[in-house]
Amino acid sequence: MRFALRRTGQAALVVVATFVLAFLLLQALPGDAIVARYASPELGLTAAQLDELRAVYGTDQPIWVQLWQSAAGFLTGDLGTSLQSGASVETLLAAALPSTLLLASLGFVVAVLLAVGIAVAATNGPGWIRRGFRSLPPLFVSIPVFWLGIVLLQVLSFRLGLVPVINASPAEALILPVLTIAVPIAAPLAQVLIRSIDDTVAEPFIAVARSRGAGPGWVLSREVARNALLPTLTIAGVLFGELVAGAVVTETVFARSGLGRLTQEAVANRDIPVLQAIVVISAIGFVIINLVVDLVSPAIDPRLRRAVHA
């Protein structure tokens, strides 16, 4: 219980630090969002009217006042108003978040399946199969997400016609984006899993299990898998940030609406309230996932359980 409370307190401190740091860095961005949005000659607004708009949005206040108001708003569920569209940030996020969560969730599931398949093939079978599959993770890591998305689009859709991109159903429209976001995530997962399997297989208890007549399948599923899971679970929590970054690029390449597109538009328009909300929500998701990993790990590894209770 004490361990869980300590980890939860640390997670809360990380979220607070992220909020403050993100706010200060976003405030330091060059340019003026009010001028960028409303200083168009077509609108014909005067300098006094622009000042009134700054007062309405609160951007004329000192930074520490804006920080306090923003923090108070987040605590009460008021994420502010978009400087670009005038809509509430909650409304924009509610429209964009489900699509990105679906893409990220499916991408992570596919990445785990790819990583497990690569790791099993890389640690079992003939030597040339092992060498071939062991070379895949470094290759996948080096592939840029935007390049992979464009190649998949060109080859699978335009060349081979296997996946439609025009008049596609919702399920068909997810195939290429999910593959694009899954491959870079599968690479580090597979690398860690391969290393963990190699280390576990070299342990004496594996030799004991084999000497008692246990077959390769039984050893892999009952002994190796559980002991190799913990490092993979840890890196999986860290890779949540990769999913968010990959979603930004993937949604841009495939013209999907979601958190990535919203981030791109907010950066282009210097829409600080939207950017602030996206950064903080992403940080909260990252912290929650890693907190869950920290709390689950002792249940998987008895050595960590003893260290927690020590």
pLDDT in tens, 50-61: 777 777 777 777
Report the distance separating Cα 161 and Cα 19, nearest Å. Answer: 45
For residue 12, the model assigns a pLDDT of: 86
**Is the Cα dihedral 27, 30, 36, 39 positive or negative?**
positive
Name the stretches of the chain with pLDDT < 70: 1, 3, 31-33, 35-45, 214-218, 221-223, 241, 297-310
For residue 306, the model assigns a pLDDT of: 54
**What is the distance in angstroms between the CA of the first residue and the CA of the last residue of the chain?**
13
Report the distance separating Cα 72 and Cα 65, nearest Å. Answer: 11
Break the chain down into helix, strand, coil percent, rounded to 5.
Answer: 80, 0, 20
* Residues facing residue 81 across a β-bridge: 88
Q: What is the pLDDT of residues 105-136, one digit of tens each?
A: 888 889 888 988 888 888 877 778 888 888 88
CB 122 within 8 Å of CB 261: no
Strand, coil or helix: 33: helix
Question: Phi and psi of 81, rounded to 5°?
Answer: -125, 135
Please name the residues in contact with 269: beta carbons below 8 A apart, sequence gap of 6 or more.
Answer: 33, 36, 37, 83, 84
For residue 218, the model assigns a pLDDT of: 67
For residue 188, the model assigns a pLDDT of: 87
pTM as predicted = 0.78
* Residues facing residue 186 across a β-bridge: none
- The tokens for 46 are 């005067």
Report the distance separating Cα 119 and Cα 122, nearest Å. Answer: 5
Report the distance separating Cα 39 and Cα 308, nearest Å. Answer: 59
For residue 45, the model assigns a pLDDT of: 67
User: Token match 């859709």: residue?
Assistant: 157
Report the distance separating Cα 88 and Cα 53, nearest Å. Answer: 16
For residue 241, the model assigns a pLDDT of: 66
User: Token match 């599968």: residue?
Assistant: 186
Strand, coil or helix: 160: coil
Distances (CA, A) of 218 to 118, 201, 224, 225, 232: 19, 13, 9, 10, 20
Domains, the chain: 2-75 (no CATH), 93-269 (1.10.3720.10)
Which residue type is seen at 221?
Answer: S
* Residues facing residue 88 across a β-bridge: 81
